[in-house]
């Protein structure tokens, strides 16, 4: 009984992301028009054929719509605890990179990079990984390599968001388009205060988010570990 109550509470905290409301609405209307028109056409040709074919066609279209609905779900989440010096996962997915890397674009030194790959089945809303102030936001056009490949971080279309923490540390968050993703949405605005629990942006379909941290940051995750956006602590800053 207790598990059922907890499940109901979780479901009540799930809503549809604003990036998908218009697409879901118009696609539902399109499915209704297609199914109605096809039914009349097939029925005019052969009533028996319409009774056989239409349930299958409608089932496929509705299943596709439900998959899209699942993609645009947006859980309401709040981090429970003190956020000082913590870095939380900016996205749902799994850890695909934990390594020291030379960052030449902004820092020109070694950084600890932690990357999260988001499959089409994951929630695709992005959260701010730290409290602070947005220093700048930059968008870069590029390729659409598979998001888990190392070269995707620099060569794919991406958006860079630099955040300065209350302690003066600069943290770079990179939203990366994948082989299927074709749109990166960034809500972060330069000079605005930002906090864990707030949405940083949204990436449509399979994609990836990189976080560049000071090299002395302590990772709190391991390779292939699943992450929950705004919940999983991925590192601690010194």
Q: For position 11, what pLDDT does the model report?
A: 40
Q: What is the pLDDT of residue 209?
A: 93
Residue 142's pLDDT is 65
| Beta carbons of 219 and 185 less than 8 angstroms apart | no
Name which of 236, 232, 235 is nearest 94 in CA terms. Answer: 232
pLDDT for 190 = 95
What was the pLDDT predicted at 178?
67
Q: Which two tokens stand for residue 196?
A: 């864990």
Is the CB of residue 90 less than 8 Å from the CB of residue 130?
no
Please, where are the H alpha helices in the chain? 2-12, 21-45, 47-71, 152-155
Q: What is the per-residue pLDDT for 173?
A: 97
* Inter-residue contact 161 to 175 (CB < 8 Å): yes
Mean pLDDT per 10-residue segment, the chain (238 residues): 46 58 79 84 78 83 79 82 94 94 92 92 90 94 59 72 96 83 82 92 82 96 96 96
Task: State the pLDDT at residue 9.
Answer: 45
Nearest to 139 by CA among 104, 101, 93, 189: 189
Provide φ and ψ at 212, rounded to 5°.
-105, 120
Q: What is the SS3 assignment for 13?
A: coil
Q: Is 153 a catalytic residue?
A: no
Of 50, 115, 153, 207, catalytic: 207
In this prediction, residue 144 carries a pLDDT of 57
Buried b (16+ CB within 10 A) or exposed e, 49-86: ebeeebeebbeebeeeeeeeeebbebbebebeeebebb
pTM above 0.85, yes or no: no
- CB of 148 within 8 A of CB of 208? yes
| pLDDT reported for residue 230 | 93
């Amino acid at each position: 009984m207790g598990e059922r109550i907890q499940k109901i509470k979780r479901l009540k905290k799930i809503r549809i992301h604003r990036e998908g409301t218009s697409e879901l609405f118009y696609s539902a209307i399109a499915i209704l028009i297609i199914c109605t028109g096809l039914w009349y056409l097939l029925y005019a040709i052969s009533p028996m054929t319409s009774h056989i074919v239409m349930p299958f066609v409608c089932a496929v279209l509705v299943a596709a719509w439900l998959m899209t609905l699942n993609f645009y779900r947006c859980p309401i989440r709040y981090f429970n605890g003190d956020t000082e010096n913590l870095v939380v996962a900016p996205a749902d997915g799994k850890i695909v990179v934990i390594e020291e890397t030379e960052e030449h674009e902004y820092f020109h030194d070694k950084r600890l990079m932690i990357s999260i790959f988001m499959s089409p089945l994951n929630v695709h809303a992005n959260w701010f990984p730290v409290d602070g102030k947005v220093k700048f936001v930059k968008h870069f056009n590029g390729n659409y390599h598979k998001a888990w490949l190392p070269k995707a971080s620099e060569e794919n279309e991406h958006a860079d968001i630099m955040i300065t923490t209350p302690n003066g540390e600069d943290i770079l968050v990179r939203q990366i388009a994948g082989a299927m993703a074709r749109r990166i949405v960034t809500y972060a605005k330069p000079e605005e205060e930002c906090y864990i629990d707030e949405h940083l942006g949204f990436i449509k379909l399979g994609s990836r988010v990189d976080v560049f941290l000071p090299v002395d940051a302590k990772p709190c995750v391991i390779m292939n570990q699943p992450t929950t956006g705004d919940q999983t602590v991925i590192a601690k800053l010194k």
